[in-house]
Structure formats: C-alpha cells, structure tokens
Amino acid sequence: MKHVHAGKVRDLYELDGDLLLVASDRVSVYDVSLPTPVPDKGILLTQLSVWWFDRLREVVPNHVLSATDVPAEFAGRAIRCKPLEMVPFECIARGYLTGSGLKEYERTGSVSGVALPPGLVNGDKLPEPIFTPTTKVSEAGEHDAPITFDAMAAQVGRDTAERLRDLTLAIYTEGAAHAAKNGILVADTKLEFGFAADGALTLGDEVLTSDSSRFWPAGEWQPGRQQHAFDKQFVRDWSVSTGWDKTPPGPEIPAEIVEATRERYQRVYELITGEKWRS
C-alpha cells in the first residue's frame, strides 16, 4: 500500500489501482491541523459520508467502491474509491449567510459574485440557495479564495461549470431537506468533484459531514447572532477564544472541548442517519 498524500485530515493510499481515503481523528481549523485528536471523529465522518453517498446516488455518481473492503487497521474510517482527476475548485452551496460568506457580503454585497439583497445579517436564510465556489489551495499557509462563476467557467469550461453548479445545488437541496426533517439546518456545505477514468463527473471527497458543512440545531436558529454549531465551527470558535492567531502550530484542545466536539459529531450522525451510534 503506497501512501500518496497526507491531507490536513485524511491520508490517501493507493491500493490495487484504487484509492484508499482514510479519515484520521485530526481536526483542522483555518487550514491548520490541531495537535489534539477527537476520538471516533474519523469513523463518524466516514460513516456519515458513506450514508449520504448512498442516499444521493440518484442525484450524482460518487467515487465509492467499497466502505468495507478495506485493510482491517482502517476499518470504519476508510473508503476504497475511484481515483478522480479532481476539479481544482471547492464547490460550495449556501442556504444561509454566515462565516466567510457573510464577511464578503458585508464588504461587497455579494458572495463569489452572486449579488444578494441588502440588509442581511449573520445567520439569515437566503432567498434561495446559491453556488459560491472557491479556489482550492493545497500549499500550507495559503487559504481558499472566492471565485466568480464566470472566472471558474473560464478555467474548466462553461458546460462543466454549469454542471458543477447544478449538481452542487441539487445535493445541497436534497441534503438540507432531509436534515431539516431531523432538526438540523444545513447552513452551507462544501463539495469536491472530479472526473473518473471514463470521463464521468463524479462526487468525491466527503459529503455533508460536520467537517464540510455548517449544521445548526433548527430549534435554536435565530438570525442576528452566531448560531449554535453542531459542527467544526464549535472548535473554530473555541480556538479563536484562546487568542490564537490562526497560524501553525495550533493550540492543544482541552479535554472538555474534545468531548463536547465528539458529542456533536455523534449527535449529527444519529440525527441524520436515524441510527444509534454503536460505541
């Protein structure tokens, strides 16, 4: 088994011509991976992704070959996938305004070139979900930057850009509708696509997890303030509260924050899949 890439959170191996995507228990915030692991995180996120990939299989082809035919040492946290030629953009759908989207809106009135009505506040629901791609930067220390649909289309071609946008919004809409039935608002989500060997545009990476999405408890949603987070935002907010300047190395996470984070990841898994977590 050949190690081909160490991401901030996941490791990639080559296995008999397939790709093995192994999720660690690492947490990365502001593109910095923190020194303290969150137990079970890799398994919880992998199993949630696998559940969504299956649930969305009529909406979009995905890269999963098997979530069980994986080396025993990685059981539960690995997916055997089709190696894709990744599209070098992060495909983001937003149904609510917060985070970097809110900052951009406050500066320019739009997000990734999508103009929004005036007067929106943190946590507001958007008139309709919007597609707000960013560049995908892999160099350490660099951050993803918003890009307009037209600029993205100039690089990948208009037809591909339109398909990426339509798929992203379709996945968001379907995912948000299911989550809402179970008490979770999906504020936004990040997807990654690539081309399979046969040329098919395929959903890769992870899908609708607490690392790639903002999940809010629906009952506590209240625009005009920071929302309670079921997701990585919880760790982001804690990390900033320590006075950390968002450059490496990141701070050690105290035990109670680790446990509260683990609980949130487990709760999201249970609410979305309707299945009790086994541990």
Ligand X SMILES: Nc1ncnc2c1ncn2[C@@H]1O[C@H](COP(=O)(O)OP(=O)(O)O)[C@@H](O)[C@H]1O
**Are residues 218 and 184 in contact, defined by beta-carbon separation less than 8 angstroms?**
yes
Tokens of 192: 């990654």
Cβ proximity to ligand X: between 126 and 211 the closer is: 211
Least distance from ligand X to the Cβ atom of residue 134, Å: 12
**Are the beta carbons of 50 and 23 closer than 8 angstroms?**
no
State the DSSP code for 252: P
CB 8, min distance to ligand X, A: 4
Residue 83 or 183: which CB sits closer to ligand X? 83
DSSP helix, strand, coil percent of the chain (3-state; round to 5) = 35, 25, 40
Q: How far is the CB of 71 from ligand X (least distance, A)?
A: 17
Closest CA to 207 of 55, 78, 15, 5: 55
**Rounded to the nearest whole angstrom, what is the least distance from the CB of residue 132 to ligand X in the complex?**
18
Instruction: Report the alpha-carbon distance of residue 258 to residue 136 in Å, rounded.
Output: 28
Helices and strands (H, E) in the chain, number of each type: 6, 17
Selection from 130, 79, 88, 140 nearest residue 105 by Cα:
130
Distance, CA of 168 to chain centre: 12
> How far apart are CB 89 and ligand X at their closest, in Å?
11
Q: Measured from the CB of residue 138, what is the shortest distance to ligand X in angstroms?
A: 5
The residue with tokens 């892999």 is 138
DSSP state of 72: G
Residue placing its CB nearer to ligand X in the complex, 92 or 120 = 92
b (16+ CB within 10 A) / e for 76-112 = bbbbbbbbbeebebbbbbbbbbbbbbbebbeeeebbb
Q: For ligand X, which is the closer residue by CB, 62 or 227?
A: 62
Considering the complex, state which of residue 10 and residue 165 has its C-beta at the smaller distance from ligand X. 10
**DSSP structure class, residue 54:** H
Instruction: Give the integer Cα–Cα distance in Å for 210 and 93.
Output: 15
- In the bound complex, what is the minimum distance in angstroms from residue 80's beta carbon to ligand X? 10
Of 59 and 114, CB closest to ligand X: 59
Residue number of the CB atom closest to ligand X: 7
Q: How far apart are CB 83 and ligand X at their closest, in Å?
A: 5
CB-nearer residue toward ligand X: 24 or 122? 24
User: Which C-beta is closer to ligand X: that of 23 or that of 126?
Assistant: 23
Residues contributing to the site for ligand X (CB under 6 A): 7-10, 12, 19, 21, 63, 81-84, 86, 138, 192, 194, 204-205
SS3 92: strand
